[in-house]
Amino acid sequence: MAKSFLILIFLSFIGLETYAGDTTAVDTSGAYEHFPKRAALCSLFPAGGQIYNEYGYRKFDKKNRAWWKVPLIYGGLGATSYFYYKNYQSTQLLKKEILFRRENGDSTYYHDSMIGFASETALINGYTDSAGVDVLGFDDTARRRDLLMFATIGIYGLQILEAYVDGHFVSFDVSDDLSLSWYPKMMARNTPGIGLTLSFK
């Protein structure tokens, strides 16, 4: 589940910069400057850079938008943080149960929710209950806890990088006058070939 969620977040950020319509920068104030480094700095507070870029897009009267990334960022950070905390709690409880039973034996329990774990081996490796459901042990919950911690850090870092890259496109001027042409050309050693030219004017 955690891996599927991370893949979804990653794919969501791959196509963030899709530009439609007129992308020619128009500064309606005549003095506005947009700074990508400031977008990255604002992103130290999650999604702050995206909000700054959204302001820039509107200032330049572009059809591109950055606001829709904000709920994605908070959704990703919120989900990974929540599941990290749940797995952290489970890991701590299992650890306390293991230590308690080492001192008092498997016939006593630190917490009532641990009754299903018949032995220390089950506490570490997990077990399958009577309904066929796999109950995670300490090793699996600790692994998930660590994965979700790195996922949270990764999403946080990715939104800073995305804000910085997107900040360059806010004031990037691309004219509608694009031309593509091809022509015959003699290559090295008199080998015929085709040249391709893409002109930005």
- Please answer whether residues 25 and 172 qualify as being in contact, where contact means their C-beta atoms are separated by less than 8 angstroms: yes
| Confidence at residue 25, expressed as pLDDT on a 0 to 100 scale | 44
Handedness of CA 51, 52, 53, 58 (dihedral sign): positive
pTM over the 0.85 mark: no
| Confidence at residue 114, expressed as pLDDT on a 0 to 100 scale | 87
| Confidence at residue 18, expressed as pLDDT on a 0 to 100 scale | 37
| Confidence at residue 61, expressed as pLDDT on a 0 to 100 scale | 87
The DSSP annotation for 16-59 comes to -----S------SSS-----HHHHHHHTTSTTHHHHHHHHHHHH
pLDDT tens string for the chain (201 positions)? 555 544 544 444 444 443 333 344 444 445 889 999 999 999 999 999 999 999 999 998 888 889 999 999 999 999 999 999 999 999 999 999 999 999 888 778 888 888 888 898 999 999 988 888 899 999 999 999 999 999 999 999 999 999 999 999 998 865 555 565 656 666 666 666 666 555 554
| Confidence at residue 43, expressed as pLDDT on a 0 to 100 scale | 95
| Confidence at residue 189, expressed as pLDDT on a 0 to 100 scale | 66
